[in-house]
Chain A
Amino acid sequence: QKEVEQNSGPLSVPEGAIASLNCTYSDRGSQSFFWYRQYSGKSPELIMSIYSNGDKEDGRFTAQLNKASQYVSLLIRDSQPSDSATYLCAVNRAGNNRLAFGKGNQVVVIP
């Protein structure tokens, strides 16, 4: 079982719609959860971090964490063409700075 799984294929959403991305993780000891955005040919950029169960909102982004079910999700509201990128889920254990990354989900926002 992979440490972090992002199974959905490329996600195409119309401009203005909500993009929803899911991520599951295998280590129950995981304490820190992150979403990175990576444009083609660029480096990963941290867009959200979440540490406790529930929702965390930042602008058009909302991260949702459910430790009991071992999943973390990212919602992008009012999707814009500039949101077209690959989104990487990353997880680590408390006191351990080793991040495990998922393989990423590509999002394409169609004008």
Chain B
Amino acid sequence: DTAVSQTPKYLVTQMGNDKSIKCEQNLGHDTMYWYKQDSKKFLKIMFSYNNKELIINETVPNRFSPKSPDKAHLNLHINSLELGDSAVYFCASSQDLLAGRYEQYFGPGTRLTVT
């Protein structure tokens, strides 16, 4: 069973388009995240949801809009794609903070290429 899954795995699109990436976890975790890993391999948090509530919103262009329909799903919609958005986007999940365990588990990633 896949713990954290993402679709699609690869996404090639043109500048100006709008695209979405989807994430699902079957670990029963309460918190989910979106990370961006750029060409230099630096991994940076973008957003985090806890039980469908946005709790982390880093300095990210408002062209990026996350949505969490339930605690097992977290989607990322990107409007007006730009060349600089090309990166690998990882979804991750972790147990609730109250459980005192903060290990995050990552999905396989979505490689986004904007041409």
> Which chain A residues have a beta carbon within 8 Å of chain B's beta carbons?
32, 34, 36, 38, 42-46, 49, 86, 88, 90, 92, 95-99, 101, 103-104
Q: Does chain A have a CB within 8 A of B68?
A: no
Known contacts A97-B94, A98-B56: A43-B107 contact under CB 8 Å = yes
Query: Given A43-B90, A44-B90, A101-B43, is A95 in contact with B108 using a C-beta cutoff of 8 Å?
Result: no
Chain B, range 79-115, C-beta contacts under 8 Å to A: 90, 94, 97, 102-109
Q: How far is the CA of A15 from the CA of B56 in the complex (A)?
A: 42
> What residues of A have a CB within 8 angstroms of the CB of B109 in the complex?
42-43
The count of A-to-B residue pairs whose CB atoms sit within 8 angstroms is 51
- Do most interface residues of chain A lie in helix, strand or loop, or is the interface mixed? strand
CA distance A99 to B103 in the complex (A): 9
A99 contacts B102, C-beta separation under 8 Å: yes
Number of residues of chain B lying within 8 A (CB) of chain A: 23
**B106:A32 contact, CB within 8 angstroms:** no
Q: Is the CB of A104 within 8 A of B97?
A: no
Task: Specify the chain A residue showing the minimal Cβ separation from B56.
Answer: A98
Q: How far is the CA of A95 from the CA of B101 in the complex (A)?
A: 9
- Residues on the A chain within 8 Å of B48, using CB: 97-98
Chain B residues within 8 Å of A32, by CB: 102
Kindly supply a per-residue 1/0 record for chain B positions 15-37, scoring 1 wherever the CB is within 8 Å of any chain A CB and 0 otherwise.
00000000000000001010000
Q: Verify if B44 is at the interface (C-beta below 8 Å from A).
A: yes
